[in-house]
């Protein structure tokens, strides 16, 4: 889509990947996009020499991110957001980086079933939540903020949990707001997935968000992106004995946000 403008398809891929994830490294791009590493490295070097991106090291890994001092960064991000929203639905997922779990490759089907039940039992004991919302747009801070609330759980069946969430949050402009949400979690043991739905239209007309599957000993990831009126939603869950972290990434014509939910 943008390769005619950038002159190189790999440059387009790198910029879209950075737009969605904020940072990346060469091998990660190679694995996620299924593109040979050498041309990706050449494109990264070209972008860094041109001042669009910058790099730094974490240990031995060289990470790349947008250069905040690039004079056309706001305009570039708006262009990339528009380009991303126009991608086919089945292409959007490949640009979202799943946080790797070192135990992921060792999980066989039986281990996944055990991990799924462990998470389900942890989910059943939730009573509180906090969240942090961060907009990646330079033009809008309404969606930035933090909140706290309580979660009351009802169990319709052994495989269905209803989360009724109520609380308050403060946006980036300092305004205080109350919120309430109702979510339905459904465990499918045969498929080894958990589905998440929003019930803002009532239980008979749920808004499906995504299916979550086990991707590590203590992590789950949405199988596919959820599309809602042009907005794309991804979800990742990491949990331990104390907390469940549900990380949302939302990109759309008027949205460019990250939301971290912490359930305890």
pLDDT digits (tens, 9 = 90+) for 164-216: 999 999 887 778 889 999 999 999 988 888 999 899 888 898 888 888 888 88
Decide: residue 60, CB within 10 A, 0-12 exposed, 13-18 middle, 19+ buried. Answer: exposed
Residues in the chain: 264
Cα–Cα distance, 17 to 11 (Å, whole number): 10
Number of structural domains found in the chain: 2
Last residue of a domain, one of 90, 117, 152: 90
pTM surpassing 0.85?
Answer: no
DSSP designation for 35? -
Please indicate, yes or no, if residue 98 is contained in any of the structural domains.
Answer: no
Task: Tell me the residue range of the domain where 219 lies.
Answer: 106-263
Q: 22: domain CATH number?
A: 1.10.10.10
Last residue of a domain, one of 64, 90, 116: 90
250 and 139 co-located in one domain: yes
Name the percent of the chain lying above pLDDT 90.
Answer: 35
Please indicate, yes or no, if residue 124 is contained in any of the structural domains.
Answer: yes
81 and 207 co-located in one domain: no
């Amino acid at each position: 889509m943008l390769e005619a403008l950038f002159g190189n398809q790999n440059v387009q891929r790198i910029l879209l990947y950075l737009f969605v994830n904020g940072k990346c490294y060469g091998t990660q791009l190679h694995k996620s996009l299924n593109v040979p590493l050498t041309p990706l490295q050449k494109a990264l070097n070209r972008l860094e020499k041109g001042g669009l991106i910058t790099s730094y090291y974490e240990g031995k890994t060289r990470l790349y991110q947008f250069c905040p001092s690039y004079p056309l960064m706001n305009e570039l991000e708006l262009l990339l957001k528009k380009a991303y929203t126009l991608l086919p639905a089945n292409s959007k997922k490949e640009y979202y980086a799943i946080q790797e779990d070192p135990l992921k490759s060792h999980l066989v089907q039986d281990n996944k079933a055990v991990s799924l039940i462990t998470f389900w039992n942890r989910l059943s004991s939730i009573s509180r939540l906090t969240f942090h919302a961060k907009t990646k747009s330079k033009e809008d801070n309404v969606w930035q903020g933090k909140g706290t609330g309580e979660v009351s759980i009802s169990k319709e069946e052994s495989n269905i949990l209803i989360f009724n969430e109520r609380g308050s949050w403060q946006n980036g402009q300092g305004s205080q707001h109350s919120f309430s949400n109702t979510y339905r979690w459904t465990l499918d043991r045969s498929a080894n997935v958990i589905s998440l739905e929003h019930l803002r239209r009532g239980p008979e007309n749920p808004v499906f968000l995504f299916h979550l599957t086990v991707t590590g000993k203590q992590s789950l990831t949405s199988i596919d992106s959820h599309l809602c009126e042009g907005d794309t939603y991804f979800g990742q869950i990491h949990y331990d004995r104390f907390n469940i972290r549900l990380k949302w990434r939302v990109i759309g014509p008027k949205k460019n946000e990250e939301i971290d939910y912490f359930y305890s």
